[in-house]
Each structure stands twice: as C-alpha cells, then as structure tokens.
Amino acid sequence: MTSSFTTDLMATAVLERYGGRWTVEETFQAVKQSLRGEPLQSRAQFEPERTVLLPFLTYGLVWPWYLLTQGAHSKGVKQPGYQNKQLPSFTDSLASLRTAL
C-alpha cells in the first residue's frame, strides 16, 4: 500500500489522484444529502443493494437532464447569502426538475 503523504512540493501525482477523486466524492455527497442514499437496515436479501442503487440511478438521470435542458453554464438558483455562485449544484437540478414536473 502506498502512502498519500509527501513533502516533495514537485510531486504532482498525489494532487492529480486527489483531483481525479474529487468528482466522485461530490457525487457521493449529493446522493447522500439530496436523495437520502444511505444503506438501510432490512431483512430482505437484496434490499440493501436496491436502496443504495436507486438514489444513484436517480442522480444519473436527473443531472444529465438538467445539463441538457438548462445548459452547463446555468448558475442555478440564487440564494441570499450566495450571490457569487459560479456553477449549478445538484440541488439546483432537483429544484428545476420539481418545477418542470
């Protein structure tokens, strides 16, 4: 197992690995916070797999729909304390879908 810690300021492999993982972590955060995608306790054999996969499937459908209909350069909903928002969030895509439905 390799360590992710280094004191070499010229080593970019660690930063590249971290940067590549960032979008995955954002996806996990959005699924857990916005879609309640956490494993539930269940007695059925395949129920935990279903309860975890459904929020990820929803995320995989909602986010591309938002980018196709609203555009990738949309800034989403303006919040009172967040006027300098540069990019839309997954919460913005959910709000847009709810409005459309």
Residue 71 pLDDT > 70, yes or no?
Answer: yes
Whether 17 maps to a domain, the answer reads yes
Please indicate, yes or no, if residue 42 is contained in any of the structural domains: yes
Predicted confidence (pLDDT) per residue in 40-57, tens digit: 565 666 666 666 788 888
pLDDT at 1 over 50: no
Q: Which domain holds residue 49?
A: 13-72+89-100
pLDDT bracket for residue 84 (50, 70, 90): confident
Taking the CB of residue 21, how many other CB atoms lie within 10 A of it?
10
18 found inside a domain: yes
Model-level pTM?
0.62
The predicted pLDDT at position 25 comes to: 82
pLDDT given for residue 93 in this prediction: 87
Structural domain count, the chain: 1
The contacts of residue 69 (CB under 8 Å, 6+ apart) are 96, 100
